Amino acid sequence: MTTREPVFALIDCNSFYASCERVFRPDLAKTPIVVLSNNDGCVIARSYEAKPFVKMGQPYFQIKDHLRRHGIVAFSSNYALYGDMSERVMTIIESLVPALEVYSIDEAFADLTGVPGDMSTFGRHMRSTLLKRTGIPVGVGIAHTKTLAKLANHTAKRLLDITGGVVDLCDPFKRDWTLRNTDVGEIWGVGKRMKLHLEGMGIRTAMDLAKADAWMLRQKFSVVIEKTARELAGTPCLELGEADPPKQEICCSRMFGTRLTDIEPIKEAVATYTQRAAEKLRAQNSLCKKIRVSIRTGMFNPEEAKYANGALVELPYPTNDVRLMTKAATEAVNRLFRPGFKYSKAEVLLMDLRQPGEFSDDLFAQSQPTMADKVMSVLDEINGRWGKGMLRVASVPVAPGWAMRRDLMSQSYTTKLDQLWSVKAN
């Protein structure tokens, strides 16, 4: 009886944030694009056309004129749009493959073991299907190990004009050519420091690493490098990942768009962050027993007085009820706030998380009322159908003045009814 050799694919969206913006702005199909971090701080994403002109991490205020001279369009980060587009991409991939591991917001590993037909053809089918249904271009790398699939995907993008965005390294000839022509520093998991160590040992290409003594690499470095070498040589060491376990802590933290000196807008921010954290808590079906609330001033301006403080709040019972959690969190702000400071940030951290039934209390301990479970279920259902924030606690404002700056943000094309595309007949 023969065992089928595993086949993995890595599907990775090309310049994902920029591609999301282009889906609804076809006039920017060939225009270089950059996406900025919170408060329009620095560059966190670039389209292919923008990479020769802009470095990652460059502060926006320093390069505004530079971007304008080169015709580069800047966007504020629109995480609601990117998250929704990511979910659509992953849902489509999942419908096409036997098993899927979502690796990040813009890439996923798929198990293609047993899929009939030519793998390159199947990869092109996935790519064209995603482009047609979402407008997002992707690269597809296919191989017998996850590390080789990652390398195949890198090659598919690097040589896009030749590969058409799909590379299958199940073919030994293509695999060996790619290994010989790939610098060791371009391999998944090999950082700058590790590259220097490996080059000092004469390991300069992916082929060199694939042929190196794996046991020696484990003794000298780590089991991670050993597995990388074995995977490059064609021996699977990494399986498709299982679903992530529920998080043990959930944090929501943002810089304010402007310095705050009054307590009320800070309470509004804490209420807003608590609502976001509670949504994540219910999404993983967990309950929370403790909340840590903290506020602070800016820490880098020498002309501003500095202050930071936090408070731990014990909830009366394990809960996911945003009303109870918001009341407790905002009351904590009363203990933390000190007048005379310019506050720049607040944080809400949900702690002591458990699944229902995992808390061990005495027989007479108070628990979350059944009616609260029903209310939260209805709240999530309405917000899921009509958009986040459609229903919220009264202390969460609609358009807060303290919200982070996003002066260049695109519309919420997929998550807000009033911002959907409209088609007008001539």
Within a domain: residue 81? yes
Can you give the CATH number for the domain in which 207 is found? 1.10.150.20
Same domain, 312 and 227: no
Give the ranges where 106-253 is alpha helix by DSSP (H): 119-134, 146-158, 160-163, 172-180, 192-200, 206-211, 214-220, 223-232
pLDDT at 244: 59
The structural domain count of the chain equals 3
Task: Identify the band that residue 14 occupies on the pLDDT scale cut at 50, 70 and 90.
Answer: very high
What is the residue range of 371's domain?
Answer: 250-386
What are the tens digits of pLDDT across the range 64-117? Answer: 999 999 999 999 988 888 988 999 999 999 999 999 998 888 999 999 998 999
Within a domain: residue 412? no
Burial of 200 (0-12, 13-18, 19+ CB in 10 A): exposed
Assign 402 to helix, strand or coil: coil
Only one residue has tokens 């199909």, namely 29
Same domain, 270 and 224: no
pLDDT at 405 over 90: no
Q: What is the DSSP letter of 307?
A: -
Within a domain: residue 255? yes
Contact 387, 415 (CB under 8 A): yes
Q: Look up residue 140 and give its two tokens.
A: 């597809």
Same domain, 226 and 264: no
End-of-domain residue from the set 223, 244, 265: 244
> CA dihedral in degrees (19, 129, 12, 214; nearest 10)?
-170
Assign 66 to helix, strand or coil: helix
Same domain, 1 and 45: yes
Task: Identify the band that residue 342 occupies on the pLDDT scale cut at 50, 70 and 90.
Answer: very high
Same domain, 158 and 9: yes
End-of-domain residue from the set 101, 136, 167: 167
Same domain, 218 and 156: no
Within a domain: residue 399? no
Task: Out of 163-172, 205-214, 257-266, 348-357, pick the least confident.
Answer: 348-357
Only one residue has tokens 């000298």, namely 220
Same domain, 299 and 349: yes
In angstroms, rounded to a whole number, what is the distance separating the alpha carbons of residues 199 and 213? 15
What are the tens digits of pLDDT across the range 217-259? Answer: 888 888 889 999 999 999 998 888 755 567 888 999 888 888 9
Q: What are phi and psi of 326, to 5 degrees?
A: -65, -40
Burial of 186 (0-12, 13-18, 19+ CB in 10 A): middle
Q: What is the DSSP letter of 338?
A: -
